[in-house]
Structure 1
Amino acid sequence: MIRTLAPHQRTLAYLAGLGAPLLVIPLTAGSAAAASAPAPSAVTSAVASAAAYPSALAGASPAFTEYNAATSPNAHTNGAVLAPDYQYGSLQAEATGRQAVQLVGQGKHVSFTLAKAANAVDFHYALPDSLEGGGINAPLDLLVDGKVATSLSLTSEFSWLYGTYPYTNTPFVAQPDGEVPHDYYNDVRYHFASTLPAGTVVTLRVDAGDDAPWYVVNTADFETVGAPIAEPASGYVDVTQAPYNVDDTGATDVTAALQNAIDAASAAGEGVYLPQGTYTISAPLNVNNVKVLGAGEWYTVLTGSNVEFNGQQNPASTNVDVSNLSMFGNVDQREDSDTEVTAFNGGFSHSRISNVWIQNEKVGVWITGPSTDLTLTGLRIQDTTADGVNLDAYGGPVTDTTVSNNFLRNTGDDGIALWSQNYGDTDDLVVHNTVDTPGLANNIGVYGAGAGDVVAGNLLQDTVQFGAGIGIEQRFDSVPMSGTLNVLGNELVRTGQFDPGNDYGAGSVLFYPSQGDMDSTVNVVGNAILDSPYAAFQFQNSNTYSGAAVTTAPTTGYSVSNVNIVGNLVHGVGTFVFQDQAPGSAYVAATAADGVGDAGVFSCGAGFTLTRGPGDLGFDSSTCGMPAASPLWAYPGTTTFEAAAVGQASPVQRVAIVNTASVATTLGAITPSAGFSVAPDPQHPCGTSLDAAAVTDTAAWCMVDVSFTPSADGVTQGSLTIASSQGTKTVALFGDTDPIGGDGGVAPPADLALTATLSSSSALQYFPASNANDGNNGSYWESQDGDAWPQTLTADLGAVQPEGSVVLTLPSNWGTRVQTIEVLGSTDGTTYSTLVPSADYTFDPSLQNTVTIPLPAGTQDRYLQISVTGNTGWDAAQISEFEIFG
C-alpha cells in the first residue's frame, strides 16, 4: 500500500493562508475574466475537523493481519503472480491490490510466513465456474510447516455472475456495457488446533485430488481467536437448554424454537445466549428490545436459507443488541425482490450490532428509516450480491447512526451507502471503515441529503465496476442534498474504474447531479488519492458525455456548486486530477498532485470553474479530450473449457475485444496458443480496426470464438494474444478433459426456460414474470391479487424444440398449498392446445415445494404455458421457478 505523503505535507503549510484573496482561473477560451474571491467560510471549520482524521491512519482496525499473496514480503510462491490489471472482467481487477497468485498443477503453492502468532485464517480465493453456471467444488490442501493440516473445501457457487444488473448465473459473454463475467471471489476460513507462533509457514498447495483446473489466491487474513465467550452470569437465557432445547449441531431447522426463545427473552427483559455451535434457520428472526449474544464470530454460526435478523419498520425496533456470532447465507444470485436474504434488515433505533461476521448474503445490513441512534461496529461483511451497508431513508429519516471500524470486501454493489430515498440521512457518521473491491457502484456512496453527515478516516480500495471510491450523487430519486457533508481524511487506493456505460473513466471522488442541482456545502479535506487508474476528482454531467472521443460538452445539465477541496494529496493518477464535465464550480486549495497521466484538468466547455487558492501544486495543465493512448480491453480475462474429448474440438466460448481509447485502434493478429483455435464470431466479427470507444457504436468492439482441442488427457494452459496499435493484450486460456462439476458442470440437463422470455396475464408490482426464470428459488412471480382466474405464465423458448417435462417450484420455506394447473403448448403463440389437463398439484415444503409435470411423448412447441385456476395458499397464482427440460 502506497503512503507517499511528502507532497501532501508540503501543502499543509499553505492552509494557514486560506483567508487570502484567491485567483479564479478560467479553464476554457472565452470564459469569464479572472477575479478575486474570499475563501469560503466553511473551509476553516472543515480543516479543523479533518485534523482528527489523518489519512495515513485511515481504515478499520480489524482483528486480523492481512497478507497479499502477490505482493506481501511474507508471501512466497512457485505459481504465477498475475500482473496488475484494472480492467473489469479479469481476475486481478476484482482482487484486493489488483494482483493475485494463480496455482495450476500439482506441487504449485503459495506460502505465508507469519509475522505474528495466529490460530485462525481466512483466505480470499477464486475458482473457475462450470460451463453451465452454478459453480464447482474443489479441495485444496492447507499445510503448516510442511505438514498437511486439512483439506479446505472451496467453491465457486457464490461467485461468477453474468450479464447486466441484476445479473444471472447463466454463463454468457456479450456487449461491453455490462455483459461481462465477473465477481470471481469467495472466502473460506479455518481455525487451527493450536496457536502458531511467529515464523510459522502456512501453505496452500495443489496436491493429488485437488482437481480444479486452476486456483487463485488473493489474500490471507491471519488472527488470534480467543476462547469462546461464556454465558453471562445473569440476564441471559441459554437457548440450547429447556424449555427451548435449540439444536446447536446444524442438523435440524431451529427457526421456530429460536424465535420462541427470542420472543420470551424480549417479553421478560432478558437476552438470549447462543453457545458455540451451528444453528440452521430458514426464515428471518424478528428482534425487538432484546440482546442476542453468541460465543464469538468463530464459534456461533447461523446458516441455512433466509439467514436474517429482522427489525420492525415504522416504528423501528428499539434496544436491540446483536453481537459475537457469524451469519453464513446461501445467496448465489442477486434478486432485489427477495427481501429475506439480508443479514440485518429493517428499522433499528437505540440499538447496536457488533462483532458479526456476515458472508454470502444479498446485503449485510439494510436499515430502513425511520431509525435513529444505531451503532454498527466490528462487522466483517464479505461476498454479498448487493450492498454491504445501506442506510435507506425510505419510510423515515435515518439519523445519528454510526458506521465505524467495519471491514467490507467483495460486496455486489456499494460497500456503504447513505441513500436518502424519501427522507434524509442526517448526522450520520461513516468513519474508520475499510471497504475493498465493491463489485458495482462506489466504495462509499452518498445519495441525496447529507446534512451533518461525516465520511472520514476510511480506507477505500479497488473499485471494480461503474463507480468511484466516494460517490456524492443526486441520484436514485433521492431527496435534494442539503446542509453540510464533510469528507475528511480518507485514503482512496486504486479507486475509480473505466465505465463502459460512458466509455471513459470514473474518478476516485465523483460528484454526479443526475437528478437535480447539488448546491449544498461539501467539504473534501485532507484525503489521499493514491494510484487512481483514471481521474482523482470528477464532476459528471447529468447528460452524460457519449463516448471517449467527445470534445463537445452537453448543452444542458444540472450543476454542482459549494464544493471545497482543500489539503488533499493526489499521488499517481491515470488521466486527470480534475475531470470537469458538469456546470458549476469548486474551490480548491493546498491540494498537491504528482504522477499525473494526461493533464491536470479535463474541460470541454461544460461551464465549470475551479477557484484556486494557495498551495496547489502539480495540475496546472488542461486539455479537452479523453486519452488517445489507452490499453485494449479483452474479457473474460480467463476462459476455461471442461470435459473436452481428446482430439475433438470443444464448444466455442466468446472473448470480447474492446477499444477504450478516444481514437480508432488498428487490430493485428489474434493468435491462440497450441491446443486452442479461434474463429470470427458470427454476430460481432473482428475486422482490421476498432472505432473510438463509444456507447452506441458496435464497431468499437468485436468478438472471437475460441475452442479447445486436447491432444492428451489433463489440463492444458495457454493464451490468446491480441495485437493492436494500442499494444498487445493477452487472455488466459485453460482446457480440461475432465468435467469440473458443481451445480452446473456438463451432466445436469439444461433448463430451457432459463434463456426463455416469460410473460404473464398479470403480475403484482415487484413480482414480475421474469422472477420465475431467474434461477433464484427465493424470488417468485405472483399474479395480481384478487384478479379473476385463470392466470397464466407463458415461456417463449425462441424456437420450436422438444420438451419432456415442466418443473414448478415455490420458496422452500413456504407452507403447504395446492394450486390447480393446466399445461398448454403452442408453436405460434396464438393457438394453444392442452398438453396436460387441469389438475391439483400439492407444493409440500418437505419435498422442497417442487412439483414435476411430465409432458406427453413427442411434445415440440415454442411456447409453453401454465394456466392456474386456484391456489389454497393465496388469492393469486404463485410460481418461484418455471423450469422446462427436454
Structure 2
Amino acid sequence: MNRALAAALLALPLLTAATPLPATAHHRQAGADLPFVEENAATSPHARTNGTILGPDYHYGTLAAEATGRTAVQLTGQGSYVSFRLTRPANAVDFHYALPDSLHGGGITAPLHLYVDGHAVTALDLTSQYSWLYGNYPFSNRPSVGKPDGQVPHDFYNDIRYRFDRTLPAGTVVKLQIDPGDNAPWYVVNTADFEQVAPPTPRPDGFTDVTQAPYGVDNTGTTDTTDALQHAIDALSAAGQGVYLPPGRYLLTHPFDVDRVRITGAGEWYTELTGKNFGFAGKQDPPSTGVEITGLALFGDVGVRDDSNSQDTGFNGGFSDSHLSHVWIQNEKVGAWILGPSRGLRIDHLRIQDTTADGINLNAHAGPVADTTVSDTFLRNTGDDGLALWSQNAPDSGITLAHNTVDSPVLANNIGVYGAGADITIRDNLLQDTVTRGGGIGIGQRFGSVPMTGPLRITGNTLVRTGQWDPGWDQGTGAIWFDAEQGDMTAPVELTGNTLLDSPFAAFQFKGDPYRVAGVRITDTTIRNVGTYVFQEQAPGSATVARTHASGVAIAGQYRCGDTFTLTDARGNSGWRSTSCSMPANSPLWAYPGTTTFEAATVGTATPAQKVVLQNTGTAAHTLRRITASPGFTLSPDRDRPCGTRLDPASATDPGSWCVVDVAFTAGHEGITTGSLTADGTTVQLVGSTDPLGGSGGDAPPNLALDATMTASSALAWFPATQAADDNDGSYWESQDGLPFPQTLTADLGTPTDESRIVLTLPATWGPRTQTIEVQGSLDGTTWTTLAPATDLLFDPATANHVTLALPAGTHQRYLRLVVTGNTGWSAAQLSEFQIFA
C-alpha cells in the first residue's frame, strides 16, 4: 500500500462510542432478538461508578479497544464500584469483565462482591484463566511484549453469569464493589446483561430423562459422565426417543457422536455441560441428519488456541436437515464449525462468547454447505471471525445470515466471506467493535477458497465502530472491505440499505494488486463519522454507487493514488466525491500494552521489569522528547530495543519505527499504587499491587519451550524434535540411530528472552543412562556462546529421569541449543522434554 495512507491512521480523533442506532426502515432493528437488556458500565444512563472510565479508545492492545462500545469501567481499590439500575424486572445477569493476567501467564482468580439494593448477596468468582494471549498467531499464554505485527498482548475479556434467588423489580440497583478480600490489582467491567429467565423446562413428551435408570447419567458434576451419556444418546436415538437432560451439571471429557437424535435440556441457565475437549460431533461425508439440540449450555475449559484440536468445539462436523437452537457456548475453541457436505441446517438463538477461534464457521471442506440459515444469534469476544463462510474446497450456497449480533471479534471480521457460491444473503445484522486484522464485513478471495460466483447480497446491516488497525499490514481495515488476495473478484455483490457508523478507518476498502475487484454495487447507504476515507481504493477494478450519503468524514471521500479503480456515480450521492493521496506527517505514538500490572510486589523491593512498546504511527520520523513515569515506577533502557531520540516513519517491517521501555515498580506501601508512563503525550496505565496472586498462573513459571520452534540435527522416524517440547514425558526425540555424535536439539523462542534454568527429561520408566551435553545460546542462530560446558548428566529413574541445569546469571538468548556428544544407554541422543524457564 502507499505509505502515505499507513502513516497517520492512528492519529485520527476518537469517535463517539454512543452513537444511537437507527432502525432499518423495512425490518425490525438490525441485530438478534435477545432475551436480555445490555447496560454498558461506562455509557449507560442507568449506570453509576466512582471508578475510572476507560476510553473510548481504538488502539489495539488497550482494555477499552476490546470492549463493547470501546469503553469500560475500571475498579481499583477498596470501595470502588459500578452499579446498574434495572429498567425492567430481571432474575439473572451476565457480566462481561476483565482481570489482569498472572506474572507468568495462565490467569488469576479473584472475588468481586455483588450487591442488590445495598445488600451483599455473593462474591463472584472471576478469572482471567480464559483471557490474555501473547506472541504470534495462533498465540500462547506466555507473557511477552515485542514486535508490533505479532507481539501485542490482547484478548482481555471473559463472562460470568449469576441467577438471583428472586425476580428483581425495575428500579433495583445491582452493584459490583471491591470489598476486603477482593484482591485483584484491578477489575474492568464492560457490560451487564440483565434478563428474566423462565423456569426450567420439564421433560417433553417423547423424551427420556437420562439421569434415571437404566442410564444413570450423573448431573451433579462430580464424576465423568461422558460414556454414560453417549450410551444414552445411542440407545434413545435407535429407539426413536428424545434425550432429556434435567437441571444440573454434567462433567464431560470428549465429544459426543450425534445422528438422528433430539436432545433438549431444561434451559441454558439450568442444564450445564462442562469439562475439557467436549462438544457435539456430527458425522462427515455423509453428514449427520435429523439432529435437534436445544435448551442447554456448554462451558469449556479452553484458555489457548490449539488448531490441531477440534474436540473443544461446541458443534463440529456435518449436520443436514438439523436444528441447533437456544444453546449457550462459552470458553470453547469454536462455537460451531459446520463442515460440508451439509444441507438444510438451521441455527438460531445461540449465545457464543469468549472462544479462542471462530464463533460459527460454515466450512465447505469436503463438500458444499448449502441451504443453511444462522439467525438471532449473539456472538461476543470470539477469537477469530464471529461468523464465517469459508468456501474452502466447494462453494457455500443458499446461505442466509440474518438478524445476528456480533460484538468485538478479537481477530479478523465480525462476518467473513471467503469465496462463495450462489445465493448468499447477509441481512439485518448488528456488527460492532472489530478489534484487529479485520472489518465488520470482510469479503475475500483468501485462504485457498474457491472463486466467488455470486450473487452476494448484503442488505440492512448496521455496522458500528467496525474496522481496525492491522499491524501486520501497517494499515487500517475498512468497515466493509474486499480483499482480492488470491484471485480476481468479479462476481456480483449488492450492498443495499446498510448503515455504517463511527468507522475508525475507511467505510469501504478495496484491496488487491494485481487482482481486480469488480461487480460491486452500493446503494441506499448511510455513512456517518469516518476516521479516514469513505472509499479506500487499493485495487484495480470498479464499483457503482447510488443514493449513498456520507457525513463526518475525517480526511476525504476517496483515497485515490492512481486511476486503477473506478467509482461510477449513479446519482443521488453526497459527501464522498473529494479525493486525497496524503496523510498527516505527524501522529501520536502507539503504546502497548495499554495497562501494565505489577503483582505480588514487596514493599521497598523493585519488581522484575516489564516492557512497554512505543511505535511511531506517522509518515515522518518522530523525535522522542520525553518519557516519564509516576513515582514508584522506574524506567530503564531495554536490552534489545532501547529507545533513542528518533523513531523512523511508520512501517510494519522497519524495526527502527518502534522501541521498548523497561518499567519496574517499587512499592512504597502495602496495597495498590496507580500511575502512568507518558511518552510525548501518549499514556500507558501502570498499576502496582502488593497483594498475593490468585489462580494457578502465579504458582510456577511456564516452560518457555512449549511455544518454541524445535529443530534437530537428525531425527529417527516417528520421533521428531517437536516431541521434546510437547509437555509429555512419555514421548521423546531421538536422533537418527547410529549417526556419529555430536547431535543437536535447538529451541527457537522467537525473541530474545531471559532464561535462568533448563530441565531435561526422559520417560520415567527408562533405566539409568548418562548423556554428555553442552548448552549453547545465540541471539541470531549463527553466532553461539557456551552457557554450560559439556557435562556428563545422569538420568536416573530414582529422580524420575529429570536433570536440572542452572544457566549463568543474565542469560538472555533467542536460541538455546543442546549439543549431545555421548549416550551410555543408546547409540543416539534422546530427550523427552527440553524445558526452559525464565
Q: Report if TM-score (shorter chain) is over 0.5.
A: yes
Out of 792, 795, 803, the residue aligned to residue 855 of structure 1 is 803
> Is contact 1:504–1:626 with CA below 8 Å preserved after alignment?
no
Distance 1:699 1:461, change over 3 A: same
> Is contact 1:4–1:571 with CA below 8 Å preserved after alignment?
no
How far 1:307 sits from its partner (Å)?
A: 2.0
Q: Quote the residue 1:736 is aligned against.
A: 689
> Is contact 1:807–1:883 with CA below 8 Å preserved after alignment?
no
Q: Quote the residue 2:12 is aligned against.
A: none
Query: 3-state SS of the aligned residue for 1:648?
Result: coil
Distance 1:506 1:110, change over 3 A: same
How far 1:750 sits from its partner (Å)?
A: 4.6
Q: Quote the residue 2:602 is aligned against.
A: 645
Q: Quote the residue 2:145 is aligned against.
A: 173
> Is contact 2:550–2:576 with CA below 8 Å preserved after alignment?
yes
Task: Verify: 1:385 aligned to 2:356, yes or no.
Answer: yes
What do residues 149-169 of structure 1 show as CA deviations (whole Å, max 9, x unaligned)? 111000000000001100011
Query: 3-state SS of the aligned residue for 2:366?
Result: coil
Q: Which moved more, 1:685-694 or 1:365-374?
A: 685-694
Q: Quote the residue 1:292 is aligned against.
A: 263
Distance 1:783 1:313, change over 3 A: farther
- CA–CA distance in structure 2, aligned partners of residues 100 and 51 of structure 1: 31
Out of 421, 425, 448, the residue aligned to residue 477 of structure 1 is 448
Distance 1:189 1:625, change over 3 A: same
Query: 3-state SS of the aligned residue for 1:427?
Result: strand
- CA–CA distance in structure 2, aligned partners of residues 336 and 254 of structure 1: 26
Q: Quote the residue 1:569 is aligned against.
A: 526
Distance 1:52 1:773, change over 3 A: farther
Task: Verify: 1:748 aligned to 2:696, yes or no.
Answer: no
Q: Quote the residue 2:165 is aligned against.
A: 193
Query: 3-state SS of the aligned residue for 1:177?
Result: coil
Q: Quote the residue 1:447 is aligned against.
A: 418
Query: 3-state SS of the aligned residue for 2:238?
Result: helix
Amino acid at match of 1:74: H
- CA–CA distance in structure 2, aligned partners of residues 780 and 381 of structure 1: 36
Q: Quote the residue 2:509 is aligned against.
A: 538
Distance 1:504 1:267, change over 3 A: same
Task: Verify: 1:559 aligned to 2:516, yes or no.
Answer: yes
How far 1:61 sits from its partner (Å)?
A: 1.0
How far 1:665 sits from its partner (Å)?
A: 2.6
What do residues 657-695 of structure 1 show as CA deviations (whole Å, max 9, x unaligned)? 112222323322111001001122222222223222111
TM-score by length of 1: 0.84
Task: Verify: 1:207 aligned to 2:179, yes or no.
Answer: yes
Amino acid at match of 1:693: A
> Is contact 2:546–2:569 with CA below 8 Å preserved after alignment?
yes
TM-score by length of 2: 0.89
Q: Quote the residue 2:782 is aligned against.
A: none
Query: 3-state SS of the aligned residue for 2:329?
Result: strand
Q: Which moved more, 1:62-71 or 1:626-635?
A: 626-635
Distance 1:782 1:853, change over 3 A: closer
Distance 1:63 1:423, change over 3 A: same
Q: Which moved more, 1:702-711 or 1:380-389?
A: 702-711
Out of 271, 285, 290, the residue aligned to residue 314 of structure 1 is 285
Q: Quote the residue 2:611 is aligned against.
A: 654
> Is contact 2:55–2:65 with CA below 8 Å preserved after alignment?
no
Distance 1:428 1:193, change over 3 A: same
Q: CA RMSD in A?
A: 3.2
Distance 1:780 1:452, change over 3 A: farther
What do residues 330-376 of structure 1 show as CA deviations (whole Å, max 9, x unaligned)? 00000100111111100000001100000000100001110011011
Out of 663, 681, 686, the residue aligned to residue 620 of structure 2 is 663
Q: Which runs of 5+ in 2 are unaligned?
A: 1-16, 777-785, 809-815
Distance 1:492 1:749, change over 3 A: closer
Amino acid at match of 2:747: D
Amino acid at match of 1:109: Y
- CA–CA distance in structure 2, aligned partners of residues 437 and 184 of structure 1: 11
Q: Quote the residue 1:127 is aligned against.
A: 99
- CA–CA distance in structure 2, aligned partners of residues 393 and 108 of structure 1: 50
Amino acid at match of 2:818: Y
- CA–CA distance in structure 2, aligned partners of residues 687 and 464 of structure 1: 30
> Is contact 2:760–2:834 with CA below 8 Å preserved after alignment?
no
Out of 528, 531, 534, the residue aligned to residue 499 of structure 2 is 528
Q: Quote the residue 2:780 is aligned against.
A: none
**Which residues in structure 2 correspond to 1:727-806 (within 5 Å)?**
728-745=681-698, 747-751=699-703, 753-754=705-706, 756-759=708-711, 770=722, 773=725, 794=745, 796=747, 802-803=757-758, 806=761
> Is contact 1:239–1:258 with CA below 8 Å preserved after alignment?
yes
Identity %, equivalent residues = 55
- CA–CA distance in structure 1, aligned partners of residues 424 and 151 of structure 2: 35
How far 1:52 sits from its partner (Å)?
A: 4.9
Distance 1:452 1:823, change over 3 A: farther
Amino acid at match of 1:854: H
Task: Verify: 1:601 aligned to 2:558, yes or no.
Answer: yes
Q: Quote the residue 1:352 is aligned against.
A: 323
What do residues 364-409 of structure 1 show as CA deviations (whole Å, max 9, x unaligned)? 0001110011011110000000000000000000001101000000
Amino acid at match of 1:223: E
Q: Quote the residue 2:634 is aligned against.
A: 677
- CA–CA distance in structure 2, aligned partners of residues 518 and 644 of structure 1: 56
How far 1:606 sits from its partner (Å)?
A: 5.8
Out of 364, 387, 399, the residue aligned to residue 416 of structure 1 is 387
Amino acid at match of 1:562: G
Q: Quote the residue 1:64 is aligned against.
A: 36
Q: Quote the residue 1:826 is aligned against.
A: 773
Query: 3-state SS of the aligned residue for 1:262?
Result: helix
What do residues 609-634 of structure 1 show as CA deviations (whole Å, max 9, x unaligned)? 00111111101110013443543210
- CA–CA distance in structure 2, aligned partners of residues 489 and 137 of structure 1: 42
- CA–CA distance in structure 1, aligned partners of residues 433 and 738 of structure 2: 52
Q: Quote the residue 1:407 is aligned against.
A: 378
Distance 1:167 1:456, change over 3 A: same
Task: Verify: 1:108 aligned to 2:80, yes or no.
Answer: yes
Distance 1:855 1:665, change over 3 A: closer
Distance 1:407 1:193, change over 3 A: same
Amino acid at match of 2:331: N
- CA–CA distance in structure 2, aligned partners of residues 532 and 858 of structure 1: 52
| Paired positions, count | 791
What do residues 314-338 of structure 1 show as CA deviations (whole Å, max 9, x unaligned)? 1100000111100000000001001
Amino acid at match of 2:541: G
Out of 319, 342, 347, the residue aligned to residue 313 of structure 2 is 342
Distance 1:62 1:466, change over 3 A: same
> Is contact 1:770–1:781 with CA below 8 Å preserved after alignment?
no
- CA–CA distance in structure 2, aligned partners of residues 280 and 181 of structure 1: 32
- CA–CA distance in structure 2, aligned partners of residues 741 and 805 of structure 1: 29
> Is contact 1:806–1:885 with CA below 8 Å preserved after alignment?
no
- CA–CA distance in structure 1, aligned partners of residues 421 and 300 of structure 2: 32
Q: Quote the residue 1:255 is aligned against.
A: 226
> Is contact 1:363–1:389 with CA below 8 Å preserved after alignment?
yes
> Is contact 2:755–2:807 with CA below 8 Å preserved after alignment?
no
Q: Quote the residue 2:650 is aligned against.
A: 693
